[in-house]
Amino acid sequence: MPLDTSTTYPLTKLRLDGRRWNELRLIQAQISTNPASSGSSYLAMGNTTILCSVHGPAEGRRGDATGGSAGGSGAVVEVDVNIAGFASVDRKRRAGGSDRQSGRIASTLRTAFQSHLHTYLYPHSTISIHVSVLSADGSLLAAAVNACTLALVDAGIPMPGLLCGCTSAMSGSASTPRDPLNDFLDPLLDVSLPEEQELPYLTVATTTSVPTGADEDDDDMKVSMLTMDSKVHHTYIETMLAVGVDGCKQIREILDGVIKGSSRQ
Amino acid sequence: MAAQRQASSASQIPHISPAELSYLYTSLSLPGNPIRPDGRSPTQFRPLSAETDILLGTNGSARVGFADGTQAIVGVKAEVERTPLGIEALSQAEQEEYAAESNKKDTGSNGDGIKRGSSSGQGSWVQMAIEIPGFRDDDALPVFLAEMMREPLVESVSAGGEGGMVGGLKGRLVINRRWHWRLYIDVLLLSQPLSYPLPLLSLTTHLALLSTKLPKLKSKGEEDPFFDDDWNAAEYLYPRVKSTSTKRSSIPGSLSVHKVRPPVTLLVISVAENIIFDPNREEIAVADAVLAISVTNNTDSDGLKLLSIRTIDPPSRLTQPGVPNSENVATLGSTAAAEESVIVNPSTGEEEVLGVWRPRRGGIKRMTIAKMVKMVLEKGGVGEEVLEGLEGVEVG
C-alpha cells in the first residue's frame, strides 16, 4: 500500500492517519504550566507539542538597538522560537543557535502578535514570548500561534480576541486550473508532517473583530495572518481558505473551553 | 538579559548590597547550625516534581520542575552509526602497539588488544547539548555545563555480571565491531535560570537516561544490525534486574531496580566551616567555594563512588566589598578603631572586620573539600538520599 496522501486519498477518502478531510487532530491544552513566567501554556495538536511562556510586559533592555525610543508608543513583542533537537524523527542540530524554520516562525509570530495585541497600553516595555517545540509533526506555525495566544491570555495581556491558527491543504498537487465539472480534489484540514511535505498547504490565523455595538455578529471572523510556502493554482485558494477559516473557528471554541475551564479551578 | 549573557560561570549575581551579603554570610556561617534564607537544613534539597517518558518521539525523556518554577526537559535520542574501522584500518605494527597499550592499561584482563577494542566504546558517541533561553548554544555557560555533565557520564565504568554494564555507558553503546549507537542528549531549560542550573539539569538527565530504551537487537555477532519492531520488547539502556532483596522493597512501586545508574552531579558550597547542599542563587553569591561533585552507585559494594569533582568560579569574587568604618572617609573619627574587632576567617585565613563584606579571594582548604566529599559519599549521606529519591520516581 502506498504511503502518501495523494494516491490513497482518492481511493479511500481517508487520510494517512485515518481522518476525514474536515477533521482536526486531537487538541490538548493547558495554561499556567510554568509558575516562573508571567504566562505559560502547553499545547498538543496531534503529535505536535509546544510549550510557550511569556515574560512581561516588562521594562525593555537598556543598550539594546531597539530599546528606549522604539517602544515609545507601545510595547515591543519579542519572539524566540526553539525547536528542540529531539523534536523531529531524525535528530537535527543546527550550528549557531537558530535555523531558517525557527527564524521564520519567530518573525511571523512577532508581526502577527505585534499588531494583534493592545500594545499601546504598555509604552516603553517589552513582551517576550518564548516558544519551545518539543515534538514537531506538521502545522508548527499554527500550533505556535495557538500556544502563544493561550500564554498571552494567561499573562493577562489585553487583545481584541483570541488569535487562532490552522492549516489547510489540497489532496493533490493542484497545479492546473480547477475544473468545476470534474472536481476530484478535496481540501484537507489540519495537515500533519507527511502531508505538509507532499501537498500544497497554507496557514491561516483568524480573530474576531472588535465588538462595536450590540447588534454586532459575534461569529464575525477576521483573517489576521496568512502564509503559504508551496505552489498551488489560484482557483483553489478560495476553497483552502474557507476550510482553514472554518478550522480556526473550531480551534477557537476548543481554546475558549481551555481558558474557561482553567479559571474555574 | 545582556548582563546574563556576560556571566560565564556561576550564573548571574543577584543585586544584593554588601551589607546584605555580609548578613547572609554570617547567618550561613554560624558554626554547626547555618540559617538558610528559605529555612532549609544544610543538606535539604528544594522540593521538586518529576516525571519520565513524556515525549513519544524520543528514546527516553524526563521533566523535572523545582518549586520556584524552573523546569527542565531532557530528551534522549539514539541513532545507529557505522564505527569507523579504527583498529582494523591500523597497520599491523600499530595494532600490536595498541594491544600492548590496552593490556598495560587493564592489567587484570587477559583478552588480546583487538578483542578489547571491539568491546570498548568512545566517549564521543555521547553528545550533549544544553539549551538555555537567552543564551546561544555556543555560549560559555551551556558548553561548560554540558561538558561537566558528559564527562562523568562517559567515564563511569562498572563491572559486568547480572544487570551490569561491561565498559560502562560507552561499552553499552557498542553493537558490534562495525556498528554502534550514538546517543544525543538534549537538555532544554524552559525558563531563565534563577539559580545555577546544574543540579536541575543533572537530575533531569539522570531520569531521562534511566527511562531510555533501545530497540532489541535481532541480528547476531558481526551482521549488520537489525532490530525488533516491537517497542515493548525494547531494552533499557541502563539494564534493570528484578528486585529480589527485601531491603529495597521499602520503595513503593518499584519492581525492578538498577544495578548501574547514571551519575548524579551535586552542587555543594562551603561557607566558613559549613557545607551546604543545593544552594539557591543568594547562597551561591556568598559561597567561599562552589564544587560540582559527581557520584554514582558502586556495583561492587553497596556504597557510592566518586566520579569527578569540578570547582566552579564562585560569583562572590565579583561582588562589591563593604568599607569598614575605620577606612571610610565619611565616618572617619566617629568610631574608634579599637571598637572594630578584626577577626580571622577560619576558612580563608583572611583578616576581616565583623559585619563588613569582603569578596572571597578564592582558595579552599583541603579539609573542607574532604568534608564535602565525605558528606556526599558516606552511608546514609546526601548522595545516597538523592539516588534513593530518584529511584522512587516511577520510570517506564
Q: How far apart are CA A201 and CA A189, in angstroms?
A: 9
Total of domains in chain A: 1
Amino acid B251: pLDDT: 46
Pair (B360, B374) in one structural domain: yes
Amino acid A250: pLDDT: 93
Range scoring the smallest mean pLDDT among B77-81, B89-93, B185-189: B89-93
Which of A85, A88, A132 minimises the CB distance to B190?
A132
Give residue B163's domain range. Answer: 53-109+116-262
Q: Say if B191 is an interface residue toward chain A (CB within 8 Å).
A: yes
Amino acid B30: pLDDT: 86
H-run or E-run covering A27: strand A27-31
What is the number of residues in chain B?
396
Pair (B193, B249) in one structural domain: yes
Pair (B224, B308) in one structural domain: no
Amino acid A212: pLDDT: 59
Amino acid A252: pLDDT: 92
Q: Say if A51 is an interface residue toward chain B (CB within 8 Å).
A: yes
Which residues 71-100 of A are in CB contact (within 8 Å) with B?
A: 80, 82, 84-91, 93, 96-97
Amino acid B113: pLDDT: 37
Range scoring the smallest mean pLDDT among A115-119, B201-205, B289-293, B389-393: B389-393
Selected residue of B61, B79, B191 to mutate for chain A interface (largest A Cβ count, 10 A): B191
Omega prior to B142 cis, within 30 of 0: no
Pair (B41, B134) in one structural domain: no
Q: What are phi and psi of B5, to 5 degrees?
A: -65, -35
Q: Do the chains contact at B55 and A90, CB–CB below 8 Å? A: no
CA-based nearest residue to B73, from B85, B82, B65, B83:
B65
Q: How far apart are CA A143 and CA A193, in angstroms?
A: 13
Q: Do the chains contact at B138 and A96, CB–CB below 8 Å? A: yes
Domain holding B129: CATH number?
A: 3.30.230.70
Q: ∠ CA(A204), CA(A208), CA(A212), 5° rounding?
A: 150
Tell me what the mean pLDDT of segment A25-54 comes to.
91
Question: In terms of pLDDT, which residue wins out, B90 or A35?
Answer: A35
Q: How far apart are CA B188 and CA A132, in angstroms?
A: 9
Of the segments A251-255, B15-19, B221-225, B245-249, which one has the largest average pLDDT value? Answer: A251-255
Q: What is the largest CA-CA distance in chain B?
A: 87
Which residues in chain B have Cβ-Cβ distances shorter than 8 Å to A84? 73, 75, 131, 186, 188
H-run or E-run covering B65: strand B60-66
Which residues in chain B have Cβ-Cβ distances shorter than 8 Å to A62? 2
Which residues in chain A have Cβ-Cβ distances shorter than 8 Å to B129? 85, 93
Q: What are phi and psi of B131, to 5 degrees?
A: -115, 115
Amino acid B11: pLDDT: 47
Amino acid A93: pLDDT: 64
Tell me the residue ranges of DSSP E strands in B156-195: 179-189
**Is position B197 within any domain?**
yes
Residue A223, strand partner residues: A206
Amino acid B190: pLDDT: 84
Q: Is the pLDDT of residue B90 over 60?
A: no
Q: Is the pLDDT of residue B193 over 80?
A: no
3-state secondary structure B312-343: ECCHHHHCCCCCCHHHCCCCCCCCCHHHCCEE
Q: What's the pLDDT tens digit per position in B335-374?
A: 555 455 666 665 555 666 777 888 777 678 888 889 888 8
Amino acid B26: pLDDT: 87
Total of domains in chain B: 2
* Spatial contact of B24 and B16, defined as CB atoms under 8 Å apart: yes
Q: Give the end of a domain, one of B262, B277, B294.
A: B262
Q: Is the pLDDT of residue B214 over 80?
A: yes
Q: What's the pLDDT tens digit per position in B237-296?
A: 888 776 544 444 444 444 556 677 888 898 998 888 889 998 888 888 888 888 899 888
Pair (B191, B61) in one structural domain: yes
Range scoring the smallest mean pLDDT among A71-75, A116-120, B143-147: A71-75
Pair (B216, B341) in one structural domain: no
Q: Say if B299 is an interface residue toward chain A (CB within 8 Å).
A: no
Question: In terms of pLDDT, which residue wins out, A228 or A70?
Answer: A228
Q: Give the end of a domain, one of B243, B262, B281.
A: B262
Which residues in chain A have Cβ-Cβ distances shorter than 8 Å to B190? 34, 51, 53, 132
Please, what is the average pLDDT of chain A? Answer: 85
Q: What's the pLDDT tens digit per position in B22-54?
A: 888 889 888 878 899 888 888 888 888 888 888
Range scoring the smallest mean pLDDT among A73-87, B60-74, B289-303: B289-303
* Spatial contact of B81 and B180, defined as CB atoms under 8 Å apart: yes
DSSP string, A213-264: STT--TT-EEEEEEEE-S---GGGHHHHHHHHHHHHHHHHHHHHHHHHHHHH
Instruction: Count how many pairs of residues, chain A against chain B, have C-beta atoms within 8 Å.
Output: 78
Tell me what the mean pLDDT of segment A26-50 comes to.
91
- Give residue A240's pLDDT band: very low, low, confident or very high (50, 70, 90): very high
Which of B55, B129, B137 minimises the CB distance to A134?
B55
Q: Is the pLDDT of residue B148 over 90?
A: no
Amino acid B114: pLDDT: 39
Minimum CA–CA partner of B74 in chain A = A86
**Is position B322 within any domain?**
yes
Give residue A260's domain range. Answer: 5-264
User: Residue for cell digits 537544613?
Assistant: B41
Selected residue of B66, B70, B71, B73 to mutate for chain A interface (largest A Cβ count, 10 A): B71
User: Residue for cell digits 481554546?
Assistant: A255
CA-based nearest residue to A197, from A145, A140, A252, A153:
A140
Pair (B96, B175) in one structural domain: yes
Q: Do the chains contact at B184 and A88, CB–CB below 8 Å? A: no
Q: Is the pLDDT of residue A3 over 80?
A: no
**Is position B2 within any domain?**
no
Which residues 101-140 of B are in CB contact (within 8 Å) with A?
A: 129, 131, 133, 136-138
Q: What's the pLDDT tens digit per position in B215-244?
A: 888 888 778 888 888 888 888 888 877 654
Q: Do the chains contact at A37 and B77, CB–CB below 8 Å? A: no
- Give residue B115's pLDDT band: very low, low, confident or very high (50, 70, 90): very low
Which residues in chain B have Cβ-Cβ distances shorter than 8 Å to A82? 131, 133, 188
Domain holding A190: CATH number?
A: 3.30.230.70
Please, what is the average pLDDT of chain B? Answer: 76
Pair (B73, B172) in one structural domain: yes
Q: Is the pLDDT of residue A102 over 80?
A: yes
Q: What's the pLDDT tens digit per position in A164-221?
A: 999 999 888 777 887 776 777 889 999 999 888 888 999 999 987 665 555 555 567 7
Amino acid B12: pLDDT: 57
Which residues in chain A have Cβ-Cβ distances shorter than 8 Å to B138? 96-97
DSSP string, B146-164: HHHHHHHHHH--B--STT-
- Give residue B158's pLDDT band: very low, low, confident or very high (50, 70, 90): low
Q: Say if B200 is an interface residue toward chain A (CB within 8 Å).
A: no
Amino acid A217: pLDDT: 56
Range scoring the smallest mean pLDDT among A94-103, A106-115, B142-151: A94-103
Pair (B288, B257) in one structural domain: no
Burial class (CB in 10 A: 0-12, 13-18, 19+), B32: exposed
CA distance A77 to chain B (A): 15
Amino acid B315: pLDDT: 78
Question: In terms of pLDDT, which residue wins out, B251 or B82?
Answer: B82
Q: Say if A164 is an interface residue toward chain B (CB within 8 Å).
A: no
Pair (B97, B220) in one structural domain: yes
Pair (B275, B257) in one structural domain: no
Q: What are phi and psi of A225, to 5 degrees?
A: -150, 135
pTM above 0.95, yes or no: no
Q: Do the chains contact at A36 and B68, CB–CB below 8 Å? A: yes
- Percent of residues, chain A, with pLDDT higher than 70: 87
With residues binned 3-state (H G I as helix, E B as strand, rest as coil), the percentages for chain B, rounded to 5, are 30, 25, 45
Amino acid B350: pLDDT: 62
Pair (B245, B312) in one structural domain: no
Q: Give the end of a domain, one of B238, B262, B286.
A: B262
H-run or E-run covering A128: strand A125-135
